[in-house]
Amino acid sequence: MFISGNWKMNTESDEAQKLMEAVVKGVEGTSSTEIVICPPFVYLESAVRRTAHTRVRVGAQNVFYRDRGAYTGEISAGMLKSIGCTHVIIGHSERRSYFHETDMDVNWKVRACLANGLVPILCIGETFEQRKKGQAFEVLNRQLVYGLMGIDDEHIAHMIIAYEPVWAIGSGVSATGVQAQETHSFVRNLLSEFTEEKVSQGLRIIYGGSVTPMNADELLGQEDIDGALIGGASLKADHFCEIVRMAEEVSPTQSS
């Protein structure tokens, strides 16, 4: 199982330190779940220092696809790697919506991460209107195919796909276990069309969208759901750690 917390643009310095401290202590004793926290850029280095020699890894919420240059305000994959980050969230719906990131932008960012030894967490998801019009699978198909374009099986196998229905993010309304499983199964079957079976079957596909301790058990218990990308609940250490413990119970023998 893979559990990641996306803090988004939340917490000031003291809050961030206390939250990270509480998470590190709260997941002590876990063994089968890979845990990644993605704080805002300004806290990445301190987070890496605090999580050294623990089970918690640190990821970024975004990256730029160029290695260096006159790109004011941007941060490269090499910079993230150099301070100890291991993962990067790419293509989150908030980036696509507010900052107009295209499918090609997402693909370039994925490539940049892989070239620098970082694990991309590639986000895909449909809006409520797209689902209502029966376009959900068409949208997911496009986002996934473009996101992985030109990337070989060896690299795809080390990635993580995060299905986040846009209509569920931050809304307090999550997809049901059945809805999420249906979509995850579609994504895995789609992957099998352009990757080897061992890749499509082994690739981790996680769910995001108002995941809480109240619904995590149902979601994580689905056959094709390999973890969760947690937003609001990751800002409460007790809630996040409870979800980690639920993941441990679902797959107690899975090694990270």
Catalytic residue list contains 15: no
The pLDDT of residue 254 is 45
Among the listed residues 126, 164, 242, 248, the single catalytic one is 164
Q: Are strands 227-230 and 204-208 parallel, antiparallel or unpaired?
A: parallel
* Residue 214 is assigned to a structural domain of this protein: yes
Question: pTM for the complete prediction?
Answer: 0.95
Is it the case that residue 255 has pLDDT exceeding 80?
A: no
pLDDT over 90 (residue 256) = no
Domain of 88, CATH number, reads 3.20.20.70
Which H, E and C letters describe 81-121, residue by residue? HHCCCCEEEECCHHHHHHCCCCHHHHHHHHHHHHHCCCEEE
Question: Would you say residue 256 lies in a domain?
Answer: no
Q: Is residue 98 part of a domain?
A: yes
Count how many domains the chain has.
1
With respect to residue 255, please indicate whether it lies within any of the assigned structural domains: no
Distance CA 105, CA 139 (A): 16
Domain that holds residue 177: 2-250
pLDDT for residue 37: 99
15 inside domain: yes
Find the catalytic residue in 92, 126, 184, 248: 92
Q: Which residue has the higher pLDDT, 175 or 27?
A: 27
**164 carries an active-site annotation:** yes
CA distance 256 to 253: 10
Per-residue pLDDT tens over the stretch 63-118: 999 999 999 999 999 999 999 999 999 999 999 999 999 999 999 999 999 999 99
CB atoms inside a 10 Å sphere around CB 222: 19
Q: Specify if 108 maps to a domain.
A: yes
Q: Pick from 136, 138, 110, 108: which is nearest to 123 by CA?
A: 110
Return the bridge partners of 5, or none: 37, 230
